[in-house]
Chain A
Amino acid sequence: MKTRTIQAYQISNAVVDLIYKASFSLPYAVEKRIDRMLKDEETDLARTTLKILRENNEIAAAEGLPLCQDCGMVIVFIEMGQAVLVEGSLTAAVNSGVEEAYRKFSLRRSIVADPLKRGNTGTNAPAFIHTDLVEGDGLSLTVYLKGGGSENMSALKMFRPTDSAEAIIDFIEETVVRAGPNPCPPLFLGVGIGGTADTAMLNAKKAVLREAGTRHPDPAYADLERRIEERLNGTGVGPLGFGGRSTAAWVYIKEAPTHIAMLPVALNLNCHSLRFGTVEL
């Protein structure tokens, strides 16, 4: 097998670039959702809130102020071809990219080295890196920035295999209503169904990386996404919990094979500021 070499610095540079883009501007499809939701809202406060969010995105891009003061923890998804050889340390390369980006672009460092001792690392490193080995000689690098307020509203429930789709929708509604204003809706909601407890959670994260406005390729899951969205947009929570129709900006499901005894459902509540980007090296 012919191998392809990628230098560690190429990975660092890509991480810096992706963090820059994600911190100051939203993916086009995400921005378009706000315009779409504005059409659905009637009350003055819901409309004003969405307009403020839109103006926030414009100011961030034009004036170099981060979209949110919570500049996130850096979650990195790497799909690495088996024929790729990284010269140098992959992990160190990602983390040095994180350190450089957060320093250079005046982003807030929010990572503590230890969950109980709580000392800030001062660099926003380490990143949370998930690597999948795939066939071929490509390397796909995704940076996903997630804030603490929305991550705190995450949920996991292990259903019975015989539970209905309706029971799953009920659980999602309960979770989103209980979270209410806290995760900064309208939410980009990732739903991981199946797998193990941990893969369901990871799939809930990966799910939101699909382009907003596009449905699951399997019509049955696409239909379930629509039903979840309809239910959530009838709760009344609305933009930032101030009331309205736009509680879910978009719903994405990512499923996985599971055990005969299991039906895990994991929820990744992402705020209205869905910050991510991908590059192929």
Chain B
Amino acid sequence: MMKDWKKIETPVTDSLIESLAAGDRLLLSGVVYAARDKAHERLCAMAARGEKLPFDPAGQLVYYMGPSPAPPGRVIGSAGPTTSSRMDPFTEGVLKMGVKGMIGKGRRDAATRALLQQYRAVYFASFGGAGAYLAKRIKESALIAFEDLGAEAIYRLGVEEFPIIVVNDMHGGDLYEDVLRKR
């Protein structure tokens, strides 16, 4: 089903990011950092105050996700992407830190799309509502910051062949718009 999908690893290189185009199908292995609304607010505030961040963001990808609790004996619960547009106000904050891409679902605003080009970064979508399927491709999970936020804390996830699609590449390509134009 995914034989022709391109395999990539984190941290990502500038040349990889440059080579990606809207619509590309990728299988991601390595580490991603899960964070959503409140965690973004706190991360960006820490960065603005010049504080040390809970992880080294250089070349990393952020995954907009808040898992369901891990059932006994499991690494993580259901773990699909959440709606990305809620994190639009924090795009510049995380790109400034050195993050090279975000994984979520749904459209980004015009400001975010422009920032991706400016900071040479990429927005990926994963498979919304496929949380059980995606959980099986997450091999490790560690809570690394903001434990009080529960499902909204920051988790370091080790993923293996985690499926993602390039939605907004750094050259202005936009998969969600392309599919509407083709009708």
Contacts and interface: CB of A to CB of B under 8 A. Distances in A.
Contact of A240 (B69, B83, B127): B127
B172 interface: no
A246 B160 CA distance: 29
Instruction: In the A-B complex, list the 3 residue pairs whose CB atoms are closest, starting with the nearest.
Output: A243-B179, A236-B183, A182-B106
Interface of B: 1-2, 23, 25, 65-71, 74, 77-80, 82-83, 85, 105-107, 125, 127-133, 135-136, 150-151, 163, 165, 175-176, 178-183
Contacts of A64: 71
B68 A108 contact: yes
Contacts of B80: 68-69
B66 A108 contact: yes
Main secondary structure of the interface of A (DSSP, over half): loop
A182 B88 CA distance: 14
A84 B165 CA distance: 53
B77 A235 contact: no
A148 to B, nearest CB: 8
Contacts of A60: 78, 132
12 contacts: A45-B165, A48-B2, A69-B151, A106-B70, A149-B128, A180-B180, A234-B183, A235-B180, A235-B183, A236-B179, A237-B179, A242-B125
A52 to B, nearest CB: 5
A63 B71 CA distance: 10
A56 B129 contact: yes
Among B2, B67, B129, max chain A CB count under 10 A is at B129
A108 B67 CA distance: 7
B174 to A, nearest CB: 11
Given A49-B127, A181-B105, A243-B178, 20 more contacts: A52-B133, A52-B163, A63-B132, A65-B132, A68-B80, A68-B132, A69-B65, A69-B151, A70-B131, A106-B70, A108-B69, A109-B150, A148-B83, A177-B180, A180-B176, A181-B107, A181-B125, A184-B128, A184-B129, A234-B183
A107 B133 CA distance: 16
Nearest to B72: A106
B68 A66 contact: yes
Contacts of A110: 151
A137 B25 CA distance: 56
A45 B179 CA distance: 11
Contacts of A32: none
Nearest to B133: A56
A67 B133 CA distance: 9
Interface residues of A, number: 47
Which of B78, B79, B163 has its CB near the most chain A CB atoms (within 10 A)?
A: B78
B68 A106 contact: yes
A240 to B, nearest CB: 6
Given A51-B1, A65-B77, A272-B129, A149 B67 contact: no
B133 A184 contact: no
Contacts of A238: 179
B106 A67 contact: no
Contacts of B78: 60, 65-69, 71, 108
A221 to B, nearest CB: 26
A273 B129 contact: yes
Contacts of B107: 180-182, 241
Contacts of B182: 236, 243
Contact of B135 (A65, A70, A244): A65
A37 interface: no
Given A71-B68, A181-B105, A182-B106, A242 B132 contact: no
Contacts of A55: 130, 133
Q: Which residue, B67, B130, B135, has most C-beta atoms of chain A within 10 A?
A: B130
